[in-house]
Amino acid sequence: MKLYNTFGQWDSNKGCVVSIGMFDGVHIGHKLVIRQTVDLAKQNNIPSIIISFGNHPSDFFLPNHTEKLLTISSEKENLMNELGVDYLFLLPFDEFMANMSADKFVNDILIGQLHCQAIVLGYDNHFGKNREGTIRFIKEKYANQLASFEVSAAILHEETVSSSFIKKTILNDDIPLANQYLGYPYEISGTIIEGNKLGRTIGFPTANLQLSDSSKLLPTPGVYESIITIGDETFNAITNIGFRPTIEDSALIKIETHIIAFDRDIYGAKITIYPGKKIRNEIKFESIDQLKDQIKIDLAKVHIAS
């Protein structure tokens, strides 16, 4: 898969099949749209293109707001690649995109620049200024130039699968359920940095994670069962997400992972944490000894994956 950041990088007139959307989470509903885009392109021996955005559109329309994302750009890129997409346009949602009419997008970008032969959209996909671009819009105005296909919503547990619903599920402390809607384990990635090393002094050393992207949605503060990967290696762990009230009552949220039966220096390493069941909420203890005792209790609750 090739990654482009501007439409100007496209230089083929072969034709293509396109889908457009935020695709935050690349969840099981998104996958239906993406797979149909890829399959249709293969049937016609032309490339598949996904047009998406690195920042959420709401960040543009609400400048003081930052929408937390299920998938940061690197994660979205990996998921699209796994689904067989040929080209991913990962664009900034900016004034240019916000003010482009649906007609201009179809004429100038889809037809004029990409030489698009077909567009695939999900049941609630919209594009163009004021969200006027829809399947109905394409069929009414461009049926002779552009084939269009609409993909129905994915339903799981009698719930329409959506990014907003999955975010609510994560923030309601049910990551295992969110994973079902995503179709893969939710992940948090970053680099291990030095902390105050208190964990080592009480017998529970922790790896302190610096997020790859601050726009990543984090679970609510608390202690979670987790699996972590370092390169090709996988380990059981217990992860605390929160403000460390017993130690410092930080103003910034921190992510600390105690890797079970592990004793290596991994400062600077890139790791991925897959949080699972929430064991408990974050608590302020009266002493470090109470914290130490609680960690032992927490560890006893951890399901060790084989």
Does 69 share its domain with 121? Answer: yes
Asked, for residue 172, whether it belongs to a domain, the answer is no
What's the pLDDT score for residue 197? 59
Give Cα 241 to chain centroid, integer Å: 18
Q: Which domain CATH number covers 294?
A: 2.40.30.30
Asked, for residue 14, whether it belongs to a domain, the answer is yes
Instruction: Report the number of distinct structural domains present in the chain.
Output: 2
The confidence band for 61, taking pLDDT boundaries of 50, 70 and 90, is: confident
Q: Which domain CATH number covers 149?
A: 3.40.50.620
* Range of the structural domain that residue 24 is part of: 2-160
Cβ(300)–Cβ(241) under 8 Å? no
Angle at 182 between CA 176 and CA 184, to 5 degrees: 75
Does 137 share its domain with 192? Answer: no
Q: Over 90: is that where the pLDDT of 231 sits?
A: yes
| pLDDT per residue as tens digits for the range 9-50 | 999 889 999 999 999 999 999 999 999 999 999 999 999 999
Does 68 share its domain with 135? Answer: yes
Does 224 share its domain with 156? Answer: no
- For the whole prediction, is pTM greater than 0.75? yes
Asked, for residue 10, whether it belongs to a domain, the answer is yes
Does 153 share its domain with 220? Answer: no
Asked, for residue 168, whether it belongs to a domain, the answer is no
Does 286 share its domain with 140? Answer: no
Asked, for residue 207, whether it belongs to a domain, the answer is yes
Q: What gap in Å lies between CA 173 and CA 181, rounded to an integer?
A: 14
Asked, for residue 181, whether it belongs to a domain, the answer is no
Domain boundary among 160, 176, 195: 160
Cβ(171)–Cβ(179) under 8 Å? no
Rounded average pLDDT over 241-249? 79
The confidence band for 190, taking pLDDT boundaries of 50, 70 and 90, is: very high
The confidence band for 306, taking pLDDT boundaries of 50, 70 and 90, is: very low
Does 123 share its domain with 214? Answer: no
Does 84 share its domain with 230? Answer: no
Q: Over 80: is that where the pLDDT of 282 sits?
A: yes
What's the pLDDT score for residue 176? 96
What's the pLDDT score for residue 199? 57
Does 52 share its domain with 103? Answer: yes
Does 149 share its domain with 264? Answer: no
210 vs 245, more confident: 210
Does 151 share its domain with 191? Answer: no
Q: Where are the beta strands (DSSP E) in the chain?
A: 2-4, 16-20, 48-53, 87-91, 116-122, 147-151, 155-156, 159-160, 188-193, 207-211, 222-230, 233-242, 254-259, 270-281
Asked, for residue 107, whether it belongs to a domain, the answer is yes
Does 16 share its domain with 139? Answer: yes
| pLDDT per residue as tens digits for the range 99-157 | 999 999 999 999 999 999 999 999 989 999 999 999 999 999 999 999 999 999 999 99
Asked, for residue 166, whether it belongs to a domain, the answer is no
